[in-house]
């Protein structure tokens, strides 16, 4: 159960933002996992399906890690829509779009992957904000009120999570462009080719 405020120890803006993110991000990451898993189950390509599932389980891992850390950080009655409103909206909209379809065609999948990459990029920026020195020290101090914590280990955890998001973004963008490129090549290969015979006959008068 998250800690609550005692006395007049009111947080500053940075501390409150960090607390809000840590308490709300697990729900967002779990929602992202549902999105990735649902998408993985609806694509034709096994490589794309595996990639989506890989990223999805990374999201689930992040949710579990953040939930453990948030246990030791005071909660300030967080309104998760306030801290992560646009990201919740994006993930929920994508999940609704995906679950409304039976299967996802490759041309649609490439666009979806680009939108997922954007979500990962924005989440990565949120994790990066936790790596500010004062924010890390605040988190370490709060956790240290209950148990011993190594600031270097805490830093390494957030660096790893931020690195995961950066990696996800790169993988999704690369996969999207690969799928688009293959789709274009297939379209070109399937374009009907007209083979003209006896080109000299093109100049013959038209008989009516």
- Which helix (H) or strand (E) element contains residue 55? helix 46-70
In sign, the C-alpha dihedral spanning 140, 143, 149, 154 is: negative
Confidence of residue 10 (pLDDT cuts 50, 70, 90): low
Sorted by where each starts, the structural domains of the chain and their CATH numbers stand as: 13-187 (1.20.1260)
pTM of the model: 0.82
CA angle 115, 120, 121 (to 5 degrees): 95
Grouping H, G, I as helix, E, B as strand and the rest as coil, residue 168 is helix
CA gap 164, 127 in Å, rounded: 10
Q: What is the pLDDT of residues 158-173, one digit of tens each?
A: 999 999 999 999 999 9
Grouping H, G, I as helix, E, B as strand and the rest as coil, residue 2 is coil
Confidence of residue 186 (pLDDT cuts 50, 70, 90): low
Q: What is the pLDDT of residues 110-129, one digit of tens each?
A: 999 999 999 999 999 999 99
- Which helix (H) or strand (E) element contains residue 205? none
pLDDT at 24: 94
CA gap 62, 158 in Å, rounded: 10
């Amino acid at each position: 159960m998250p800690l609550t405020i005692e006395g007049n120890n009111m947080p500053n803006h940075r501390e409150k933002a960090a607390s809000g993110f840590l308490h709300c991000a697990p729900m967002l990451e779990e929602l992202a996992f549902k999105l990735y898993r649902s998408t993985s189950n609806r694509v034709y390509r096994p490589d794309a399906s595996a990639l989506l599932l890989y990223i999805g389980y990374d999201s689930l891992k992040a949710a579990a890690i953040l939930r453990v850390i948030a246990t030791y950080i005071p909660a300030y009655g967080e309104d998760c829509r306030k801290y992560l409103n646009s990201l919740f909206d994006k993930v929920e909209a994508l999940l609704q779009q995906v679950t409304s379809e039976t299967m996802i065609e490759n041309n649609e999948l490439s666009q979806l992957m680009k939108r997922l990459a954007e979500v990962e990029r924005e989440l990565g920026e949120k994790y990066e904000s936790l790596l500010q020195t004062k924010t890390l020290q605040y988190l370490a101090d709060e956790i240290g009120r209950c148990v011993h914590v190594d600031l270097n280990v805490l830093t390494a955890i957030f660096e790893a999570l931020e690195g995961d998001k950066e990696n996800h973004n790169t993988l999704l963008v690369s996969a999207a462009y690969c799928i688009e490129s293959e789709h274009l090549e297939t379209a070109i290969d399937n374009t009907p080719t007209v083979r003209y015979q006896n080109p000299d006959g093109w100049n013959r008068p038209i008989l009516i």
